[in-house]
Structure 1
Amino acid sequence: MLRNRLAKIVATLGPETGTAEAMRSLYEAGADVFRINAAYSDDDANAALVRLVQDTIADPSDPVGTLWDLPGLKMRIGGFAEGSVALESGGVFTLDQSPELGNERRVYLPFPEAFAHSRVGDLLRLDDGRLTLRVTEVTLYRLTTEVVAGGGLSANKAIFFPNVPVPTAEVSARDAESLAVALEAGVDWVAATANGSLAVVQDFRRRVGNRAKLMIKIDSQALLDQLDAVLELADGLFLARGDLGSSIPVERIPNAQKDCILAARRAGKPVVVAAQMLESMVSDPTPTRAEASDVCQAIYDGADAVTLSAETAVGHYPTDAVAMMDRLIVSAEADEPDPGTLAAFSEEDTTETRVESIGGAIAHAAVGVARELGASAIVVHTSSGSTARRVARLRPGRPILCLTDSAETRRAMTVVCGVHPLLMPSLSSWKEIVEVAVRATREQQLGDDGDVIAITAGMPLGASGSTNILRVATL
């Protein structure tokens, strides 16, 4: 299914959308990638979700991707007898080590280190910073707090402690276990928290290998300071703005978003923006004006994809949320590009270091030719997807048809801006590539008789990184 937009939508699956019928509805509304948040269910159930996505949306003309978001080392509270509670500002709320279901006065916190390292006066952030507690009393088994910023609180929400040390040498045992299940299930992308450590990124890279694509979550100042090094190891970035907002001042989030997007585009790798994008649609059928502006700003900044979390996992209007996200992206893409972003990227892109290979030069040339001739599409024949990503980073402003004989590449490309991946049998000659490119463009209704397309490929055929040919064809 070819979308009428370039940026992609990542929709999180959950209790409201864990059925084949719901998945099909989300896909038809505009979801391109389904995210599984491994922190909220057991690994076997999450693996079953991956398989259900693959079985439900199996038509060759309907590319879909899966993204497994590892639990990470986040501390999370326990459950509530009534499912959720409302905390009033100024009230008293206790965190303790009693495993009973909680209520409006207390909740279970199964992390002894939190009690050992907390201090009176510490500010604790819950649910991506929406709620704030101030510690007023500390014992080995109980933290008494005052509610500074209240609101609704449901089970299993993450809680941030400012003084609890986080291991930074290697992947945690919980993440390693979840990762093994994800890879066995055949997931396309893995999103991982590195705890601010490049050593953990390296460990994830070693464990994932080439069995999936690795997306590192940018959730701390330490990783913001090492974006280029992270991108040397990772296949993409996941900007976790909620977690990031717990570690840096909230007013710095917009600039951090721009920095992440520009760094990823320079590297030719996708970047996904996440957290509270249409949060009000968990309970309301329409978003706030501020949320609509937030989504559009991410598109203006150049994000490859934007994410729906609770909106589709537990919200009352999951399909409406995807449809609204689709409408907002289409509207934003109809506007003129952000001059500031264009200037920053153009300046970076004119340096000699940006074209480091023949494939990179061909990608630049294809975009230039397509713009000069008003081509209806750019068709990329690729095995690994690297040329499609090189073209996509330049944001040519028209669809990129990615013809590949690799099912893994096809699914991985579902998160890349502007790329519509199509699975094709192996092609044996340049003439055949041109014929297939023209036919695919017509079948996808991307051009009329007389329109032109730019086509890239490599010789020898099938060799990764061999892109060295550019041709213009007329429909």
Structure 2
Amino acid sequence: MNQIKLRNRKAKIVATLGPACETEKNIEKLFLAGVDVFRLNFSHGDHKDHINKVKIVRKLEKKYNRYICILGDLQGPKFRVGKFTNIKEQLKTNQEFTFDQDKKDGNNKRVYLPHKEIFKSISIGQRLLVNDGKVRLKVKSKSPKAIKCVVTAGGEISNNKGLNIPDTKLDLKIITPKDKKDLELAINLDVDWIALSFIQTTKDLLTAKKLIPSKFKVMVKVEKPSAMDEIESITENSDGIMVARGDLGVETNPEDVPIHQRTMVAACRKFGKPCIVATQMLESMIDSPTPTRAEASDVATAVFQGVDAVMLSAESAAGNYPKEAVEMMDKIIKRVECDPKYLSNIQNYNLDHIKTSTEAIATAALEVAGIAECQCIATFSGTGRSILRVARMRPDVTLIGLTTNKKVARQNVLTWGTFMDVVDKISSSTEMVDRACRVAKSRKILKNGDKIIITAGVPFGKVGTTNTLRIAKIIADSKLT
């Protein structure tokens, strides 16, 4: 069994698996380059591909004795136009164009739109965006079977291109028939997180969560402007938020996206939920071995905001330089985290304290670590919640999350600054200190003479009782208590 070195950074890296990194050799390269979380994009690839990728990741876990998180990303209710007789058409600004219920192939005047819910919900004056917003139309009139529009920004429209409707809250089935099949696979594969696409409201989220077993963490991808109206409620009722700037960037003004990103990061910090910033972070590295300066600044900005993770999409899934993209992201994160203003900035980042014993212990651990010059905080947790409360404070020490549950360990690999490990059940304070010190020493996190803060709940093993804080010193003897 091999043991790789610690990442030596706080923010985590999520990488999407795809054709560019399907083999065991290439996935291993990404892991060794710095990937903490692998994303399965159920919008692409078949079930056989996803099964094989999960097997490879779990094999790497055993080989390197390091827990790895897997995120299963459901496609959600994606809208697409029908097909065209000539495959593609060029629409001119100010011309009229109709979306209708006629299944015949389209032309430069009309096309089939196989989504009846749009015909029910859309209103005159609202926008329809095709091909990632490159073609823009405004509704002129509507009927149950036709939506007549005027083209406000012309361009190419072709077979099955994506359609966005930013101004309308649609009555949708958030979990589509395809999603149900993919969700069943994700559950059978025992992935760690399930990501939900195109959530518009808290009601959407709660409806979807009923179909997902409680042992899985639920990540909400914020892609609709309407979700921002309920972002605090959505954050509170989810397990994490992904700032999905692709569709969000299509449906809202470009100048609004950075504000939305900051708002989501703040909501996640407030409720102690992981936050991932995603989409086009190092986009140019799909074809180039180096990013643009703007892309490097984009990744750095997310890290300066204190996000838990930054994500690679096409860069790792379909690019020519997946390993280099991971290495570059790793370098940018480490450089930012070396900046003297980094921690002082994120430790004061819109924190509203929740008055619980767990929050009190987490706050005390941060204070004591500074006063007693401790190099590490170890937190025992059965569910992972106490680990999140400590990480939420963004302390300037190494965090160790200890649990008896392998699923909880994998899920919290995503958590900012936290190294996760699984230990046997503890029944006394002596065992608590012994387990924490052994992990810190065997994983080469601490050395002889270093001090560690340990938090746990008494009675041991009872969920939601974090109420104990101890300070211990690493010693050379085999008996570490």
Q: Distance in 2 between matches of 1:19 and 1:61?
A: 20
| Paired AA for residue 376 in structure 1 | Q
Distance 1:373 1:311, change over 3 A: same
5+ long unaligned stretches in structure 1: none
| Paired AA for residue 111 in structure 1 | P
Q: Is the 8 A contact 2:304 2:345 kept in 1?
A: no
Structure 1 residue matching 2:430: 3-state secondary structure: helix
Q: Is the 8 A contact 2:276 2:308 kept in 1?
A: yes
User: 1:26-65 maps to which residues of 2 (within 5 A)?
Assistant: 26-59=30-63, 61-65=65-69
Q: Distance in 2 between matches of 1:160 and 1:36?
A: 23
Q: CA deviation at 1:385?
A: 1.1
Does residue 124 of structure 1 match 2:123? no
C-alpha distance after superposition, 1:133-176 (max 9, x if no partner): 5589999899999795879x999764314577632466333323
Specify the alignment match of 2:12 in structure 1. Answer: 8
Larger radius of gyration: 2
Distance 1:89 1:147, change over 3 A: farther
Specify the alignment match of 2:468 in structure 1. Answer: 469
Q: TM-score, normalised by structure 2?
A: 0.84
| Paired AA for residue 264 in structure 1 | C
Distance 1:38 1:265, change over 3 A: same
Q: Is the 8 A contact 1:241 1:253 kept in 2?
A: yes
Specify the alignment match of 1:174 in structure 2. Answer: 178
User: 1:43-442 maps to which residues of 2 (within 5 A)?
Assistant: 43-59=47-63, 61-76=65-80, 111=114, 113=116, 122=127, 124-127=129-132, 129=133, 131-134=134-137, 148=153, 158-162=162-166, 166-168=170-172, 171-335=175-339, 336-337=341-342, 342-346=347-351, 348-349=352-353, 354-356=354-356, 358-442=357-441
Structure 1 residue matching 2:62: 3-state secondary structure: coil
Structure 1 residue matching 2:445: 3-state secondary structure: coil
Q: Distance in 2 between matches of 1:187 and 1:99?
A: 41
| Paired AA for residue 114 in structure 2 | F
Q: TM-score, normalised by structure 1?
A: 0.85
Q: Distance in 1 between matches of 2:431 and 2:413?
A: 25
Q: Is the 8 A contact 2:72 2:193 kept in 1?
A: yes
Distance 1:19 1:442, change over 3 A: same
Q: Is the 8 A contact 1:66 1:189 kept in 2?
A: yes
Q: CA deviation at 1:408?
A: 0.3
Q: CA deviation at 1:208?
A: 1.4
Structure 1 residue matching 2:453: 3-state secondary structure: strand
Structure 1 residue matching 2:43: 3-state secondary structure: helix
The alignment of Structure 1 onto Structure 2 pairs a total of residues equal to 461
Structure 2 residue matching 1:16: 3-state secondary structure: helix
Q: Is the 8 A contact 2:391 2:418 kept in 1?
A: yes
Q: Is the 8 A contact 1:170 1:199 kept in 2?
A: no
| 446-455 or 297-306, which deviates more | 446-455
C-alpha distance after superposition, 1:401-458 (max 9, x if no partner): 1111111001001111011101222233321221221222122222332221111112
Structure 2 residue matching 1:68: 3-state secondary structure: strand
Q: Is the 8 A contact 1:89 1:150 kept in 2?
A: yes
Structure 2 residue matching 1:187: 3-state secondary structure: coil
Specify the alignment match of 1:20 in structure 2. Answer: 24
Q: Is the 8 A contact 1:40 1:156 kept in 2?
A: no
Q: Distance in 1 between matches of 2:441 and 2:184?
A: 41
| 458-467 or 20-29, which deviates more | 458-467
Distance 1:53 1:77, change over 3 A: farther
Q: Distance in 1 between matches of 2:91 and 2:447?
A: 61
Q: Distance in 1 between matches of 2:213 and 2:164?
A: 31
Distance 1:416 1:474, change over 3 A: same
C-alpha distance after superposition, 1:272-329 (max 9, x if no partner): 1111100001111100000000001001111100110000110000010011011011
User: 1:444-455 maps to which residues of 2 (within 5 A)?
Assistant: 444-455=443-454
| Paired AA for residue 398 in structure 1 | V
Q: Which runs of 4+ in 1 moved over 6 A?
A: 77-80, 84-90, 92-100, 105-110, 117-121, 135-147, 153-157
Q: Distance in 2 between matches of 1:114 and 1:227?
A: 24
Q: Is the 8 A contact 1:88 1:147 kept in 2?
A: no
Distance 1:220 1:345, change over 3 A: same
C-alpha distance after superposition, 1:356-389 (max 9, x if no partner): 2x22211111111112223211111221111111
| Paired AA for residue 126 in structure 1 | N
Q: Is the 8 A contact 1:201 1:230 kept in 2?
A: yes
Aligned-residue Cα RMSD (Å) equals: 3.7
5+ long unaligned stretches in structure 2: 475-481
Distance 1:305 1:163, change over 3 A: closer
Distance 1:150 1:277, change over 3 A: farther
| Paired AA for residue 362 in structure 1 | I
Q: Is the 8 A contact 1:301 1:338 kept in 2?
A: no
Q: CA deviation at 1:396?
A: 0.3
Q: CA deviation at 1:49?
A: 2.7
Distance 1:226 1:45, change over 3 A: same
Specify the alignment match of 2:478 in structure 1. Answer: none
Structure 2 residue matching 1:246: 3-state secondary structure: helix
